[in-house]
Structure 1
Amino acid sequence: MGLIARLSRIVPLIILLALVAGVIYLVVTYRHSPARAKEVLIQVFTWVCGVISGFFALASVYALFDHAPAVLDLTLSFMAVGLVGLAITRLCNRRFLKNNPSYRKKRLAATTHRRWPWHR
């Protein structure tokens, strides 16, 4: 029963993340392409999940030192959502780059531009 109670507390965060994802996807799809929208969505959610995890990790440490077990339980639940979201976005990024290799960052060739009087 405790697991269901914890999951019910994080539902608003998951709904908010889903709504933000839907808005980002629709706007970028309208302006560019579905592939570009997926790329932007993955980048944004990697950053957002990392920030969420870091923020709630700090809040968990504070709650631990403040001896507030209810707050610690809540912050650890939210941090777990952030970490699971981060893992999911990394898996989605791997799959996206496998299916769209043109979006992979390519290395630039190194060139040397010699200046006068050595330029020939």
Structure 2
Amino acid sequence: MRIYKAVVELVGNRLILLLVIPLIRKGGQIFMISPDIRETIIECAREFDVKAVWIFGSSLEDDSVARDIDLAVEGVPPELFFKFYARLFMALPKPVDLVDLSQDIPIASIIRAKGVNIYER
């Protein structure tokens, strides 16, 4: 079952539908990221032949509240990591925090457990 968030505005005595946003479900929780942002991230990931992308942190909150876009990636060649980061930074409407899960870092297991995988090739 897909779940959506509807954005409406009251005009006079009528509700006007402004936007419908699909939500992402993980376990019993529901997260939101706009379809445009998700598609842009996936396009960039495909362009750089990224293995997987997770969103985490404040990016799992309401998109209008999140200050930045927290992403974790796996499979970006080290020599292309900063080019990939720059591509995301230029393409997305908010600042990007990017974590390389290919590195042996303590936060990797937390991101994989609590984050949401939005792309995998």
TM-score normalised by structure 1 residue count: 0.28
Q: Which has the larger radius of gyration?
A: 1
- Greater helix proportion: 1
- Greater strand proportion: 2
